[in-house]
Amino acid sequence: MIHTQQKTEKTLRIIPLGGLGEVGRNMMVLEYDKEIIIIDVGIGFPDEDMPGVDFIIPNPKYLEGKQKQIRGIIFTHGHFDHVGALPYLINQLGNPVIYTAPLTRGMIMKRHEDFQNMPKLKIVDVKDGEEVMLGRNFRAEFIHVNHTIPDDMAVVIKTPIGNLFHTSDYKFDEKPVNDKPAQIERLREIGKDGILLMTGDSTGVEKEGHSLSESVIQINLEEVVKNAKGRVIAATFSSLLTRIQQLIYIAEKLGRKVVIEGFSMRSNVEIAKQLGYMKIQKGTIISAEESEKLPLHKVLVLGTGAQGESRAFLMRVVTGEHRVLKIEKGDTLIFSSSVIPGNERAIQSLKDAIYRQGGRVFHYNMMDIHASGHGHREDLKQMIGLINPEFFMPVHGNYSMLVIHGDLAESLGIPRKNIVIAENGDVILAAKDRVFLSKEKVPANYIMVDGLGVGDVSEVVLRDRQVMSKDGMFVIITVIDSETGKVKGNPDIISRGFIYMKESQELLAQTRKKVKEIIAKTASGGQGKGFNWLYVRDNLRDRIGQFLYSKTKRRPMILPVVIEI
């Protein structure tokens, strides 16, 4: 159904800059009457076809020139896919006021310390049930929900055209660990008050039933640790504070000391402890060096690396690169995280290496020792039922997840015409009686972060890296007499990732001969000092590329270097 917007009618503009059609990189812009608020500014992780890229961040181009209109950034919780891009974009966003819960604030501030020459952040703490005014047109109410980290907040955005409900990442857990259950009655009241549009987390929509309670996970983890004859090494995400707290509880109960390895995990634990979100008995935490003096069955080690990351703590232990720890025969390894798509091979290689060194691995496919922080289908049904929105827009998930979540909402009675399936860069318009996709698009392409470089890895650079990672590079260095246009001596050739030069002498000889022929023909026997050597280089690259493909069926990157003397 096509709607025509009346010129006199003001609409709320909803613009996802990340998090739709992907998992991670969450960022959403709300704009009304020249005022803007932002929900989350997160990072995403690179695909396998992005060699060298550390992570990706949202594109802020739409907000250029609008910094003075931004009334604040709301952060729902402290996971990097929701807060991690802030240091890279804070200046471009005009350093607006930040509204978030105390633990999230602590994690944002700690990360901010790692970046030099950053402006001082302006952060307002918010708590469950609190309301804050952002400008003239936006009032935000924060509602506690459960996740794998404390202080996760759903948010009601009250605007002149109606109320929006943004779920954040969530699941329903009647018996959470080190947390309180979600405010079910308050969620029901919010629904009764009327919600024009609900934007709902879609990450777990393909999984049946309810997400497992953390109390079930703790029982199973305790069973594994209790039965372990030697040392226990548990790997999980550095920000999965619920799981870290569970393992510390278990270690204290069973008389084990705890070693925490990895800078990010130690930092997060220290922040949570200082703010009262983690309870750790005095003397529980020891150093890796101190653990070497204890019997193995008295030690539990916590660290990162369950995804097979090359520089994470667990990989360094397995490869013998850790300064103190190594895998001992009889060690029990716990992988307490689900596999991120694309990491399967790295994780399998890591498990194989552990078994070769005498360790044993427990992971979530063997028993319930990890629960997703994202609600499964029954959780999602429950949230839609409580909020009972007039319009529904799935967010946070691959495109198929968004469509399936939309189908789920329709099965619960929301009319198909009231369900918006959007993608990053879409502009969704909301009025008092309708919400619909406009034809407008804004830039939402990836901004890639590589080391200290932000956005300097373009599509062209990425394609070059892909070519080199697939077929390698082939450098031809040719010295040419600028008077005669003829090659002096033999061209030098450097091959990286294409052929092993010692075993390819015949191909190299043919290539050198071909180089001379191409230059001689291009230069037409010598054109003197006025000849266009840029044209020679381009012709050399194209013709040698064709020649090597005819011989090898591979396409390395050809880099001709022409030196005139």
The most confident of 48-52, 215-219, 231-235, by mean pLDDT: 231-235
Q: What is the mean pLDDT of residues 204-219?
A: 85
DSSP secondary structure of 227-264? H-SS-EEEE--TT-HHHHHHHHHHHHHTT-EEEE-SHH
Q: What is the pLDDT of residue 160?
A: 95
From 151, 152, 173, 201, the catalytic residue: 201
Q: What is the mean pLDDT of residues 276-281?
A: 89
Q: How far apart are the first and last CA of the chain?
A: 71
Q: What is the mean pLDDT of residues 127-155?
A: 94
More confident of the two residues 401 and 47: 401
Least confident piece of the model among 166-175, 308-317, 507-516, 536-545: 308-317
370 annotated as belonging to a binding site for a ligand? yes
Q: What is the pLDDT of residue 212?
A: 79
Q: Is the dihedral of CA 274, 276, 280, 283 positive or negative?
A: positive
Domain boundaries defined on the chain: 14-209+372-454, 216-363, 472-564
Q: What is the CA radius of gyration of the chain?
A: 29
Q: What is the mean pLDDT of residues 59-67?
A: 94
DSSP secondary structure of 193-226? H--SEEEEE-TTTTS-SPPPPHHHHHHHHHHHHH
Q: Please name the fold of domain 472-564.
A: Ubiquitin-like (UB roll) (3.10.20)
What homologous superfamily does CATH list for 216-363?
Metallo-hydrolase/oxidoreductase (3.40.50.10710)
- What tens digit of pLDDT does each residue of 87-138 get? 999 999 999 999 999 999 999 998 898 888 889 999 999 999 999 999 999 9
Q: For 14-209+372-454, which CATH class?
A: alpha beta
Same fold for the domain at 14-209+372-454 and the one at 472-564? no
363 annotated as belonging to a binding site for a ligand? no
Chain centroid to CA 120? 25
82 annotated as belonging to a binding site for a ligand? yes
In eight-state DSSP terms, residue 170 is -
Q: What is the pLDDT of residue 195?
A: 96
Least confident piece of the model among 243-247, 287-291, 336-340: 336-340
Q: What is the pLDDT of residue 526?
A: 46
Q: CB of 419 within 8 A of CB of 393?
A: yes
Which residue is it, tokens 């400008």?
135
From 144, 374, 376, 405, the catalytic residue: 374
Residue 549: pLDDT above 70? Answer: yes
Q: Which residues contact 358 (CB under 8 A, 6 or more apart)?
A: 327, 328, 329, 330, 331
Q: What is the pLDDT of residue 232?
A: 92
Residue 6: pLDDT above 50? Answer: no
Q: CB of 515 within 8 A of CB of 537?
A: no
More confident of the two residues 564 and 254: 254
Task: Work out the percent of the chain whose per-residue pLDDT is above 70.
Answer: 88
371 annotated as belonging to a binding site for a ligand? yes
Catalytic site includes residue 3 = no
The most confident of 161-165, 220-224, 518-522, by mean pLDDT: 161-165
Ordered strands of the 299-303 beta sheet = 285-286, 257-260, 299-303, 232-235, 332-335, 360-363
- What tens digit of pLDDT does each residue of 388-429 get? 999 999 999 999 999 999 999 999 999 999 999 999 999 999
User: Per the structure block, which two tokens stand in for 406?
Assistant: 């939309």
Compute the distance between CA of residue 458 and CA of residue 375 in angstroms, rounded to an integer.
Answer: 36
Amino acid at 547: F
Q: What is the pLDDT of residue 369?
A: 57
297 annotated as belonging to a binding site for a ligand? no
Confidence category of residue 528, pLDDT binned at 50, 70, 90: very low
Catalytic site includes residue 374 = yes
More confident of the two residues 461 and 208: 208
Q: What is the pLDDT of residue 473?
A: 80
Compute the distance between CA of residue 139 and CA of residue 131 in angstroms, rounded to an integer.
Answer: 7
Compute the distance between CA of residue 394 and CA of residue 404 in angstroms, rounded to an integer.
Answer: 9
